[in-house]
Homo-oligomer: A and B are copies of this chain.
Amino acid sequence: MRTFLSDNAAPVHPRILKAIVDANKDHALSYGDDPWTARAIERFRQIFGSQTDVYFTYNGTGANVMALSSLLQPFEAVLCADSAHLQTDECGALERFSGSKILPVPAEDGKLRPQLLTPFVRNPPEEHRVKPRLLSLSQSTEFGTVYTREELADLCAFARQHDLLVHMDGARIANATVALKCSLREGTTDVGVDVLTFGGTKNGLLCGEATLFFDPRLHEDRARYVRKQATQLASKMRYISAQFEALLSDDLWARNAAHANAMAKLLEQQIERIPGIRLTRPVESNAIFATIPRDSIPILQQKFSFYVFDESRPEVRWMTSFDTTEEDVMAFARLLAGEVHAA
């Protein structure tokens, strides 16, 4: 089965799997008091700075919930793009767990800009309204677009001015960082991000995300309690940590992401030659959005499954991943050309 469904339809990267297998001996202290976790945390600190406070979780919704709930009081609100995973794809997990309100900001292309945020911070805080306290940026966005470092710096400066913390939902931070041709640090701490949820599952892990607080004082020792309450504390944590240790070794995170991005570019190039397909978003990471003839969709999906993002147009989404092959792309492009021509 080969698909362009999502990067979480892909399997586990062989080197990640090997790390799990290698970790499988003897007993280890549970809940993170083990050497694998210590080493994985150390790797993150080498990358992001020695003060970084690292919390592993099972999945991305869990990482977001524990990150934000460690920082917010229930009357403090989150500003995010109206297309953000947090707003649209987490089934209200944050609201239910923490009570905090999300204020969705209309953003055509999934990217926030200071002027879009201004109406939400115009009035001085008062008790009748929730208090905006955190800005959540998805990097890359749900549309596969990528904030530039300048855009990030501007948004972080705006946040500072308005007493907002900055969270980066980095479920696909690797794809974004590779696209920006910068280091992980240059695209996060250096531009002013306070807390990053660093994605693993969509970049080759079995399961695992990491929440990184760049200044541990921000959460006032709340994070470890919040992770446990949020049901995201793994007992056999060594198996998550070992995966991260492998992902952060030999730039595996970057190589996986670079490959996925390259495959998206290759597919884009092939598509541009096919009349009848219109790319609807710039291809900046590992997602491609396009409108195609409606009739062709079910036929295409029989061979390569994918999602219809907006039934009304119809706009489809094709995601590439670390394991997408050139053969996958070329075979899909041929199929596309044939079916779209026929439709």
Residues of chain A having any CB pair with chain B under 8 Å:
1-3, 5-6, 8-12, 14, 17, 20-21, 23-31, 58-62, 65, 73-75, 77, 88-93, 95-102, 104, 106, 122-123, 127-131, 201-202, 206-207, 222, 224-236, 239, 305, 311-312, 323
- Residue in B26, B106, B127, B305 whose beta carbon sits within 8 Å of that of A91 in the complex: B127
Q: Closest chain B residue to A205 by CB distance?
A: B236
Contacts of A128 in B (CB 8 A): 31, 89-91, 228
CB pair A59–B231 under 8 Å, yes or no, is yes
A74 and B10 contact, Cβ closer than 8 Å, known pairs A88-B129, A130-B92, A236-B201: no
Number of copies: 4
Looking at the complex, which one of B6, B21, B27, B30 makes contact with A1 (CB distance below 8 Å)? B27
In the complex, A12→B209 CA distance in Å?
20
Q: A207 is contacted by which of B23, B77, B88, B239 (Cβ under 8 Å)?
A: B239
Contacts of A233 in B (CB 8 A): 59, 61, 127
A-B contact pairs, 25 of them (CB 8 A): A5-B27, A5-B30, A8-B235, A9-B29, A11-B24, A11-B25, A11-B27, A17-B21, A17-B24, A58-B207, A58-B234, A59-B235, A61-B231, A75-B92, A75-B226, A90-B128, A90-B228, A92-B229, A93-B229, A95-B95, A95-B100, A96-B97, A99-B229, A131-B225, A206-B239
Complex Cα distance, B130 from A94, in Å, reads 12
A88 to chain B, nearest CB (A): 6
The CA of A96 and the CA of B123, in the complex, are separated in Å by 22
Whole-angstrom distance between the Cβ of A267 and the nearest chain B Cβ: 16
Knowing that A9-B29, A96-B229, A201-B235 touch, tell me 7 more A-B residue pairs with CB under 8 angstroms. A11-B236, A31-B127, A61-B231, A75-B92, A88-B129, A91-B225, A91-B229
The CA-CA distance from A323 to B96 in the complex, in Å, is: 39
Tell which of B88, B225, B236 touches A75, judged by Cβ atoms closer than 8 Å: B225
Q: With a CB–CB cut-off of 8 A, which chain B residues contact A2? A: 26-27
A116 CA to B77 CA, complexed, in Å: 25
Contact call A92/B99, Cβ cutoff below 8 A? yes
Among all A-B residue pairs, the 8 with the closest Cβ atoms: A96-B99, A62-B231, A75-B225, A8-B235, A92-B101, A91-B228, A9-B27, A127-B228
Most buried by B among A23, A88, A99, A305: A99
CB distance from A28 to the nearest CB of B (A): 6
* A5: B residues at CB distance < 8 A: 27, 29-30
